[in-house]
Amino acid sequence: MLTKVIRILFISTIPAVMAFISRENGLIDSWHNKKIITFDPTNLKMTLILISILIPSVFFTIYAEYNKSKLDKVVKRRIKLLQYITTVLRFALDDKLKNVNASTLNVRIWTQQQNVWRTKAYFNIKNIEGLSIVGNTDGLKLQVKPKIQGVIGQCYAKKDVVLDEDLSSTDYKLTQSQKNKINGTQFCLAVPLFDNNDKVTSIVSFDSNFKISVPKNQESDIINLTKTYCQTLYESCPDLFK
């Protein structure tokens, strides 16, 4: 880190030095007056001034592109990590659910929308690359207080995991626009995540457009698996929940 700072400071001082020696009555003029250089210094001074302008521009452009490239690599690695732990979860669920392809499950994050008045609370959907098929869900938000909408609202209100194997069988007080965004979704399981004050700050949902029946004798195991996954996801990538 220190080396990087020194390098940036060094590069940053070069234009200042060039501008200093090429200024009127500066070092170049002094050299010319002392006959150290015999040619007209005007062109040299103009060249140095141009270089002093170009150096920081070129350097910081290259530096920014380099950092962007590094960031892109980090993002790609993280996506692979997310896909890996999600694949592990899906394999585990496959074993529990039997005859159901858990790869059809979409994993989505719901974060609380900031509300100045605090009289109403909403959770916004957040689709993460590699974890879900976006479909029409982008921009979807559900009210959780005072009106309780959807499985997400139920999860927030109960502060507990909510599982619904047939969404069409329950009135979740959704608007037509919200219904259109989740059209076709049959199964949903929502897991709440808490802060240190035991307040639900975010929710992770698992949904599918295919019918999934959870055997009663496997329900607690499946809930525990998803809870562990959600906590791992939260601790590994906390920025996803902001």
- Residue-by-residue pLDDT tens, the chain, 242 positions: 556 556 655 555 666 666 666 565 566 667 667 767 766 667 666 666 666 665 665 666 676 666 676 666 766 777 777 878 888 888 888 878 766 677 789 999 999 997 767 789 999 999 988 889 888 899 999 999 999 999 999 999 999 999 999 998 899 999 999 999 999 999 999 999 999 999 999 999 999 998 888 888 889 999 999 999 999 889 888 888 98
Based on the fold, state whether residues 147 and 220 are members of the same structural domain.
Answer: yes
Based on the fold, state whether residues 133 and 229 are members of the same structural domain.
Answer: yes
Based on the fold, state whether residues 102 and 172 are members of the same structural domain.
Answer: yes
Whether residue 76 is contained in a domain is answered as no
Based on the fold, state whether residues 27 and 109 are members of the same structural domain.
Answer: no
* The domain boundary residue, chosen from 22, 53, 71: 71
Whether residue 92 is contained in a domain is answered as no
Whether residue 79 is contained in a domain is answered as no
At 53, list the tokens.
Answer: 């302008």
User: Which own/partner contact pairs does 176-184 have at CB distance under 8 Å and 24+ positions apart?
Assistant: 178/140, 178/142, 178/149, 178/150, 180/136, 181/136, 181/137, 181/139, 181/140, 182/136, 182/137, 182/140, 182/150, 182/207, 183/136, 184/135, 184/209
* DSSP three-state, residue 118: coil
Based on the fold, state whether residues 173 and 125 are members of the same structural domain.
Answer: yes
* The domain boundary residue, chosen from 71, 90, 116: 71
Residues in a beta bridge with 145: 121
* DSSP three-state, residue 213: coil
Global pTM value: 0.70
CATH of the domain at 219: 3.30.450.40
Whether residue 81 is contained in a domain is answered as no
Whether residue 188 is contained in a domain is answered as yes
At 173, list the tokens.
Answer: 């007080």
Based on the fold, state whether residues 111 and 42 are members of the same structural domain.
Answer: no
Whether residue 223 is contained in a domain is answered as yes
Q: Which amino acid is at 40?
A: D
Q: Which amino acid is at 58?
A: V
Q: What's the total number of domains in the chain?
A: 2
Give residue 55's domain range.
Answer: 2-71
Based on the fold, state whether residues 140 and 211 are members of the same structural domain.
Answer: yes
User: Which own/partner contact pairs does 88-95 have at CB distance under 8 Å and 24+ positions apart?
Assistant: 89/225, 89/226, 89/229, 92/225, 93/222, 93/225
Phi then psi for residue 144, to 5 deg, are: -115, -10
Based on the fold, state whether residues 110 and 6 are members of the same structural domain.
Answer: no
Measure the CA–CA gap between 37 and 230, rounded to whole angstroms. Answer: 72
Based on the fold, state whether residues 134 and 180 are members of the same structural domain.
Answer: yes
Whether residue 88 is contained in a domain is answered as no
Cis peptide bond prior to 41, omega within 30° of 0: no
